[in-house]
Structure 1
């Protein structure tokens, strides 16, 4: 680790933030600069110049401009890693700088003026550069104000690129993705893996689609056969068996095609986690059963976890889906529901998600359940917590909250109980705290007890065993106000069209692990 980044690293917890940690980076052929539009506690622009292997940085509250009459305050901040040149994403709300969403507002190259040593110019308190960006062009000058190293002034010289009245807010889109900050916040498509080498730190959250040839191959098979999907050869059986009643009914062939199409999107919420399978070998019209044990006939490539704490009569080995083909295998095995643990096989006693389960009673109407969901939405917004809601595909709504490593299930259970009891006090006529269903009088239960080891909730995009093959689907918070929303609104036949049009609302949870704020 190089000394110039020591202050940057000291200020951040890289187990929580998706920002790059920084690594040794070879010098580039040309000096580069970047301007990032960052919406944290307050909107500002971060102006960074590549100098001696780091990004020397200033926060500019009103942003750089081409207007030579404007004088901008620029606050000199800690050096950032060169990998930050391409950082665009969401920083957890409780990380350094107030978190927030970041876009690459402009980038390009620059030439130092009046010096061959820009680091020395910065140290002396005056840096002149000629910038060649997509938005910014011409001569920029940074001048330190007095003896305070943090307080600088940024201006644009009178030259052929100067534009009177030019406002950066009139040009809000990223030069990398074409998106606004709002669009990045709603649907980030990349995250930074701080534990990865710099050349592999940027990870795409947008899954590669399944080639249409794979679906064509499945359609061409008889009732049995071998299907090559995601590089694995699976023996598939009873392809024309009806698994979900409906008009027309849903066959196993259609379920496998759905599992293959949805696997790249759903896998991030199952990868690395033991999975409890709800199997219905004879279809949703018959009685199902829970299957936890990884079968002896499972292919060698299928992930597994040996539970060191398994006692007599408990499951010793679980399926762990670590690749898309695993979801297809689970569907072929008769699993109509996929229930991942909220902890990983690596640390089974430490949850990575806190769960809020809004479980309707017999008397609970859909509108009443929406009232409970909206109250939780308000509470989480007040706390500044990143969370996502999803409809279950049956009657309920669930809320997932990503958390940093280190919490116990006792911690997360107590936190959810605190929030839910606060919500319950607002509408006590809708909620029962009784454990037994019969004792609840048909009222809803805000079930914080799901926060326990080996307690699971259905995975995002998992089918549910009911007519028409409904799906548990993540939603945006504003969709709680959509009059057309229903818990079983989408099926395996319609949810893929939704994904294509609105994306995956849960994607914002990936890489957004956070500390849980104290409840007062």
Structure 2
């Protein structure tokens, strides 16, 4: 049988399971290089726990079927053989026999070990991912020595907290140490009658194949006798006809597909002479000012455009001159020393000299890019593999290519990168409809797209021949000041942001979310060195001056935000990281322009207007009619019923959160949150969760809050993105309860809630009239208020205020106001919680206005039968004959009301409780 040694190119262009295993083997082989992995290199120990360590579990049909449990540590795979495989039931203690360490490369193997050799049989990659020690148990070497290893797993099948305990007694005298693999209590544990994970997900995590299919195909063979030589595996080119292309999700499959596509150029020569004849000669430039894309509001509809995914990273030019390689930032800074692995890959490319343009990114498991992860890799020393996507070729072997059409330059680039390594890749494009590409990119979770004219030359300027469209708004801002955190930690409360206009620094708002514990301290240290007594902003408003510490405007922050307000301030801003590649003086406001007008035939149908596009939010109903706008997130058991009364499924809940996010986020983003989680649905036990942990999705953020009683600092859950909100469905979150203050100023609330909680005997008309009375009483105090249902039987009257008083003052005001209502009509209102006194009356709950108290968020479902929504309503709706109710499953029926959201003005309503009002209630501020 013909065989092919590892590393040889496969002529097929289709991504098969064998391609995916090639990718795995190459990936695990690369983990031996400590420059590109998070593994410790065996040097001096540090107190910091390692992050992103690899693990793999291989299902192994040898003498008997078992599971090989392997944790990457110190450049090898620490290995245990587990006969029954892992169990999510905490009472199960699965025997795990420790065997010899395996080479890191073996962690990517799926295939056959010949009979008669050690481990002879069929091997499947059953699961893979990363692991990390549990907090407080970060000394892994000590845990291995003493026989107690506690860790957290982030795999496709294996998640949460686990423990390996070495057995004593007779087991300690065995030839190979016997351990027990035990699931610890957390959100992922299962009941004894739940399906076993080994039965629920029996096939390969990479290729989706069964053991029988792997054995039948025999596409990869591991020769155990050659393990020590590093040349143990080979691939069989002659595969079974039953082998099909890979369809399973996973980063390895995606990566192999990219390589397989590049292999289609296998017949092409690396001889560029023919293409270079028509280009002018020049000396290799030291650096070329990069071409920049103009912001656009919609993709070009005309022909002659190509579209690339917009990457969230650092713009880098790769310059090769003989044996010398340089990696240059967008301003020409030499960052070669910071990306040694990429530089080594660039050095191998088959050209004497060239200059290429591209982007360095950190790839997430789902194929998206994250600037926050990239910044962590550069700034915080967190080891994350960097990938260089090259999308243009500017100079090659003494010739200027910049006058060639873009597609010709990219064709030459594809040949140059034909055999590039894992960390240098071609930035591919699609010649498709721009609107479709943009929609799919946003659904995929990408930052957006860049549309380029296929025939355009390369121009060192911001040009309309390159257009960028962002799914998430984001740009660089200059940091002109900061505030101190309210919890007393060494960090920042909020960053004060700005941009330059006519050489003046214009205030653009603030951001108090997106920080990690490391960035808190690091930012504070950097900002303290830049302090100055006066502001660099041009006439900053009072909102900017409050609590501000001014700094020299030298640091540049990358910030994501939802939109610009009418006051030209960023809304729902989230810090992503510092940009070292762009000077502060170049930061301007990015204004979305318009795309070039397409040439429309005379009788063509006009494009739908934005107003007509709004009903797409209501594209789904109980009968399944219309198009389904699914949230672009991964769900397990999407058909699981979370509310029996309305038959609400997990998928429906995720879709609801995704579509309601633009309306809900303004009221919850950037605030500590308490979540009501109902993993088994509203009819089963539910629980509150307010603390962040490693068990939660990465899209959820945390804010550090100091406990007033103990002084202990605790991480509270917070969020700021549409994706984070949608991913709450996977956790079974049926209620969201935000604080009345924001993360950047926790001790000064900006909302007051008057909760009208009626006895069941109170009719709707009476409750509605009471809410109207509360509104009238607030108007006398010159306070505007907003109304919403609670999703239950009550109403909330919400008063937005300037965050100038602490919780004690605000609670006193709410209490005094409630007492005034009770005094006005004691037969109807009461302010004490006593249940027995509530008969026939309305309890005015003012206790929502103390530190740490929360109230259900607007648009949040309730964890009650029918899953009704806490809905913002117009004051005029108090005249309805019956209490208005809105169920999540009926979203298609009521979503049209979002066009006239009665709470749209609430975030921008700036009003104060005047000293005179406080004095009238005998409250001292």
2:910 equivalent among 510, 513, 520:
513
Equivalence for 1:290: 688
Contact 1:376 1:420 in 2 (8 A): no
Question: How many positions carry a matched residue from both structures?
Answer: 323
Residues 293 and 393 of structure 1: CA distance in aligned 2, closer, same or farther (over 3 Å): same
Equivalence for 2:805: 407
**Greater CA drift, 268-277 or 285-294:** 285-294
CA distance in 1, matches of 2:681, 2:713: 24
Structure 1: where are the runs of 5+ without partners?
A: 1-21, 28-80, 83-91, 93-188, 220-226
Equivalence for 2:759: 361
Corresponding position: 1:341 with 2:716: no
CA distance in 2, matches of 1:313, 1:408: 18
Residues 427 and 303 of structure 1: CA distance in aligned 2, closer, same or farther (over 3 Å): same
The equivalences for 1:150-165 within 5 A come to none
Residues 371 and 425 of structure 1: CA distance in aligned 2, closer, same or farther (over 3 Å): farther
Equivalence for 1:493: 889
Residues 333 and 381 of structure 1: CA distance in aligned 2, closer, same or farther (over 3 Å): same
1:475 offset after TM fit, Å? Answer: 0.8
CA distance in 2, matches of 1:504, 1:496: 16
Corresponding position: 1:244 with 2:619: no
The equivalences for 1:126-275 within 5 A come to 190-193=565-568, 199=589, 229=632, 234-246=633-645, 249-275=647-673
- 1:129-186 Cα offsets, whole Å, 9 max, x none, are xxxxxxxxxxxxxxxxxxxxxxxxxxxxxxxxxxxxxxxxxxxxxxxxxxxxxxxxxx
- 1:340-384 Cα offsets, whole Å, 9 max, x none, are 111122221111111111111243332221121010111123333
CA distance in 2, matches of 1:494, 1:426: 39
Contact 2:814 2:846 in 1 (8 A): yes
Residues 413 and 308 of structure 1: CA distance in aligned 2, closer, same or farther (over 3 Å): closer
Equivalence for 1:472: 870
Residues 451 and 228 of structure 1: CA distance in aligned 2, closer, same or farther (over 3 Å): closer
Structure 2: where are the runs of 5+ without partners?
A: 1-497, 504-537, 544-563, 572-586, 593-610, 625-629, 921-925
Which has the larger Rg?
2
Equivalence for 2:114: none
CA distance in 1, matches of 2:844, 2:589: 45
CA distance in 2, matches of 1:439, 1:316: 37
CA distance in 1, matches of 2:817, 2:711: 36
Contact 1:433 1:440 in 2 (8 A): no
Contact 1:245 1:466 in 2 (8 A): no
Counterpart secondary structure, 2:653: helix
- 1:217-268 Cα offsets, whole Å, 9 max, x none, are xx9xxxxxxx873xxxx43112111111235x11111111111111121011
2:702 equivalent among 304, 309, 313:
304
Residues 209 and 268 of structure 1: CA distance in aligned 2, closer, same or farther (over 3 Å): farther
CA RMSD of aligned residues (A): 3.8
CA distance in 1, matches of 2:910, 2:565: 15
CA distance in 1, matches of 2:737, 2:902: 19
Higher relative contact order (CA 8 A, sep 6+): 1
Contact 1:377 1:477 in 2 (8 A): no
Equivalence for 1:394: 792
**Greater CA drift, 271-280 or 323-332:** 323-332
Contact 1:361 1:442 in 2 (8 A): yes
Residues 432 and 353 of structure 1: CA distance in aligned 2, closer, same or farther (over 3 Å): same
Contact 2:747 2:807 in 1 (8 A): yes
CA distance in 2, matches of 1:270, 1:343: 10
Counterpart secondary structure, 1:457: coil
Corresponding position: 1:436 with 2:834: yes
